[in-house]
Amino acid sequence: MPIFLNSQTSDFEKGFKRLLFAKREDSVDVDLSVREIISAVIERGDQALIEYTQKFDRISLTSNKLRFTQLELKAQAAEVSNNERDALELAAARIKAYHEKQLPDNAFWTDEIGVELGWRWSPVAAAGLYVPGGLASYPSSVLMNAIPAKVAGVKRLAITVPTPDNKINPLVLLAAQLSGVDEIYRIGGAQAIAALAYGTKSIKPVDKITGPGNAFVAAAKRQVFGKVGIDMIAGPSEILIIADKTSRPDWVALDLLSQAEHDENAQPILITDSDDVVKAVSKQIEINLKNISRDKIAGKSWKVNGAIIKVPDLDMAAELSNRIAPEHLELCVSEPDKLAKKISNAGAIFLGHWTPEAVGDYVTGPNHVLPTARSARFSSGLSVMDFLKRTTIVKVSRDALLKIGPSAVTLANSEGLECHGLSISERMKSNSE
């Protein structure tokens, strides 16, 4: 059964800390294997990709078959129903419109002593998106990763998507085309991350890699970081729902299970000030688990990682929520906007009874790639900013250098950096403009 905590009991803090720091993923040490895979790709390029794809995905490829051709993409797109295409196009348009609002402005100004200052934003030249295969192959995640990159102005966007046993998800390939992806490769695992980071004969390297994956992919992203940029190391999904007596327990139960069905390690948490809500939601979840297709996955998530926390009021609910710093936070309360002002740590907040987290996964517009495992305390979800670089700009005139240069020379000398100081002081002695 899920953990039940009451904030008014003497042992609450101990139980709450246990919930906060509980490890939800199996500790799989794959670093050595991943290091060997990356080394093989660096040394043998396409041939290593071909061998690993045969080993792990059970398909035989050649260098000229690593990338999907335009004919293949067109044929796969034709497999998508009109209804599904329309849904993807709606989602893509809304995601694009939302992320266009995130584009920052360049700035340039002259301060009071005549120094010209500013900054300029520019996109990374090339980005790579990892798309999981198999059960975790989600076209919505392609849209959420690829569209912000293109909105940012990334010129070249490459996608790697494994096709185990040659099983291809047409929706994923169509989502990539709708997002403006330039290249799509049928490879996966740590070898795909290595190819994106270091390049091979057939795949040019990129500057930044985004997208979720299994333990091997996560380890590979860690190991190539520095050679390329990465977005984040995402953990299992999680949802926290704050509900009061005005909530619909049947809706709340479904919202909790909407994250539980992702993964056995996902975490659904309910915080409420109502005993009636505790009872009704618990009962409804048990009923639903008997009738949903992913009952085993969702059931284990709820029973092993789930939690219900009873609080005296919503102020306490907000306080605990900020400590949890959830990936997704639903406020199923009578005054969600008021309560939201008390929330400082959350990947995304969904306000009111009519805003289930699931709608945010697809069509509202904001990104669904969000910080997990309490990292919302210090990080944000994927955005256009992840694909932009800020370059600062400085222009100092002779008159301005004479005003600020002496302080710079003093600081350089105090740090023992003689040439730093001389590079400034020699200019200050010159009469040339």
User: Which amino acids are annotated catalytic?
Assistant: 327-328
- Short-list 37, 82, 59, 96, CA closest to 185: 59
Using alpha carbons only, what angle is made at residue 114 by residues 112 and 119, rounded to the nearest 5 degrees?
A: 95
Is 377 in contact with 347 (CB distance < 8 Å)?
Answer: no
Is 401 in contact with 113 (CB distance < 8 Å)?
Answer: no
For 110, the enclosing helix (H) or strand (E) is strand 107-110
Is 189 in contact with 52 (CB distance < 8 Å)?
Answer: yes
Buried/exposed code over 363-389 (b: 16+ C-beta within 10 A; e: otherwise): bbbbbbbbbbbbbbeeeebbbbbbbbe
Pairing of strands 267-272, 307-310: parallel
CA distance 90 to 202: 34
Backbone angles phi, psi at 356, to 5 degrees: -65, 150
Helices 31-44, 189-198: axis angle to 10 degrees equals 50
DSSP string for 220-247: HHHHHBTTBEE-----S-EEEEEE-TTS
CA distance 106 to 383: 18
Strand partners, 393: 118
Is 209 in contact with 193 (CB distance < 8 Å)?
Answer: yes
Q: How far is CA 104 from CA 101, 109, 348, in A?
A: 8, 16, 21
CA distance 350 to 330: 5
